[in-house]
Every structure is written in C-alpha cells, then in structure tokens.
Amino acid sequence: MKFYEEKDYDALSRRAANIIAAQMTLKPDCVLGLATGSSPIGTYKCLIEKYENGDIDFSQVKTANLDEYKGLTRDNDQSYYYFMHENLFDHVNIDPANTNIPDGTKEDSEAECSHYEEVIASLGGVDLQLLGLGHNGHIGFNEPAADFPQATHCVDLQERTIEANKRFFASADDVPRQAYTMGIGTIMRAKKILLVVSGQDKAETVAKAFFGPVTPEVPASILQFHPDVTIVGDQAAFSKIP
Ligand code: F6R
C-alpha cells in the first residue's frame, strides 16, 4: 500500500486528482470506478479544473459508480445519479452513455445486480477505483459483517444509516431502506484502488483498516490484500497510524 499524507483536504484532493489524471493520460479510454459522499467532492472539483485548463479529456473515459439507493429516481437530489451529474459529469466532456450507475428504480434486485456485474465485465473491468472510507470501515455500502460480500448486491441499510440520512429528506419515511452496491469482490477486481480520506474522525478507522487484522468486521481492511492500493489522506486522518 502506498500512503500519501497531505496537509489538508485541498492538498489531498489535488493529489488524488493528479493520480486520476495520470491514469487518464496513460489510457484515454480507461474505466474509472467512482464514489459519492463528501470525500471525493474536492477531487472532482480539481478534475473539472484540469478539464477546463485543457489538461485532461473525458471523451473516451468510461465510468462505473460504486452504489446507488434503491427506490430513488434519477431526478431526486439525494440519488447518486444526481450527485455524479452535479459534481462531475455535467462539467466535463464525458459521454453520458459511457457512465454507469446501478439503477435504483429497478425493482428486481437480483436482475439489476447481475446486470451491473455484466456491465462492468463488458467494460473490461475497472482500471482505477476511487473509494471513500466510512467511519465503521465500510466501502461502498459494504457494512461490517460476518463475511465479505462478493458481487454487486442489494443491502438493507442499517437503522443508524437511515437515522443519519433522514436530515436530507422531507421525512424519515422518505429515506431509502435499501441500496445497490458493488461487492467487496467487485471492488477488489479493480486493477488499481485510490482511497481518499480526511479528518480526525476517520483517524481510528484508518489505523484499524490498514494496520489492523484483515476482517469483514472492518470491510476496508481487505484492501491490504490488493496489489495496487494508494491511500491519500490529510494529516488528521493519518494521525493514528502506528
Ligand atoms: C460512496 C460510498 C461510501 C462513502 C463513505 C464515506 O459512494 O460508497 O462508502 O465513500 O460512506 O463517506 P464520506 O466521504 O461522506 O465520509
């Protein structure tokens, strides 16, 4: 594992964007695995700047997002589809036909999840997967569990996730109860992994996930077994590394 410690969120976002830009330069038709959440927003901003400066080109890039809420339509401002358009896709020259996100409006979970695995396989797999890190060590919607889920699957959101998310919705009843997510196996098949993490509140998780035992109780710990992982964090997030 390669660790880049940066002084703050802006610096780590620039570093992560540089790594993604290098991937795009080396392979203009690369497949990027993308994440939502607060961690990658700065990285996306830097990528948009690089695009505007003429340094990178998304015309041949393909993307596959990690996850999506089940039951939200694309125009719902809490859907990950909406997030990706708002924070990246609408600001660069990516072909919308080349972007892939699990379809939260699909009722049949099994069909949608196996379809998503086929989509990723048809792209030739993910070249570089961008990840954030949950406080409990989750990646995608893969929460601590007794084992590592392999393929894209439908998860029941934990009560505290629903509780934490309800501030974004009109009422607790509107918060989705389920989500589609790439499995740990899907994530581990990416050729390269780039994880961005910031803040003191993630310091304990960083230490546990990357310096503790590999266990499905800390899903991100599996990344220790991946041959090409880069973790880009700020000083606060790295402050408990032994
Ligand atoms: C996002 C995702 C999640 C987040 C994680 C960290 O697509 O799958 O695993 O990466 O919850 O979220 P933030 O970055 O908001 O702290």
Question: Looking at residue 85, which CATH number applies to its domain?
Answer: 3.40.50.1360
The identity of residue 125, as a single letter, is: G
Residue 241: inside a domain, yes or no?
no
Residue 144: inside a domain, yes or no?
yes
Contact 147, 69 (CB under 8 A): no
Domain hosting 226: range is 2-234
Ligand 1 centroid to 164 CA: how many Å? 13
Indicate which atom in ligand 1 lies nearest the CA of residue 140.
Answer: 8
Number of domains in the chain: 1
Residue with tokens 């606060």: 236
Residue 190: inside a domain, yes or no?
yes
Model-level ipTM above the cut of 0.95: yes
The pLDDT assigned to 167 comes to 87
Ligand 1 centroid to 163 CA: how many Å? 16
Catalytic residue among 49, 85, 91, 136: 136
The rounded distance, in Å, linking the Cα atoms of 48 and 94 is 11
* pTM for the predicted model, two decimal places: 0.97
Has 135 been annotated as catalytic?
no
Burial of residue 26, with CB atoms counted within 10 A of its CB: 0-12 exposed, 13-18 middle, 19 or more buried: exposed
33: Cβ below 6 Å to ligand 1? Answer: no
Contact 186, 222 (CB under 8 A): no
CA distances from 138 to 43, 130, 223 (A): 20, 14, 11
Has 143 been annotated as catalytic?
yes
Has 117 been annotated as catalytic?
no
The residue among 155, 154, 232 whose CA lies nearest residue 193 is 232
Residue 97: inside a domain, yes or no?
yes
pLDDT tens for 4-49 read 999 999 999 999 999 999 999 999 999 999 999 999 999 999 999 9
Residue 88: inside a domain, yes or no?
yes
Residue 228: inside a domain, yes or no?
yes
pLDDT tens for 179-198 read 999 999 999 999 999 999 99
Residue 242: inside a domain, yes or no?
no
Ligand 1 centroid to 70 CA: how many Å? 16
Ligand 1 centroid to 96 CA: how many Å? 23
233: Cβ below 6 Å to ligand 1? Answer: no
The rounded distance, in Å, linking the Cα atoms of 232 and 71 is 33
pLDDT at 159 over 90: no
Residues with Cβ within 8 Å of 144's Cβ and at least 6 positions away in sequence, in order, are 136, 137, 138, 216, 217, 218, 219
205: Cβ below 6 Å to ligand 1? Answer: no
Catalytic residue among 6, 68, 127, 143: 143
pLDDT, average across residues 57-83: 96
Percent above pLDDT 70 for the chain: 100
The rounded distance, in Å, linking the Cα atoms of 138 and 197 is 12
Residue 17: inside a domain, yes or no?
yes
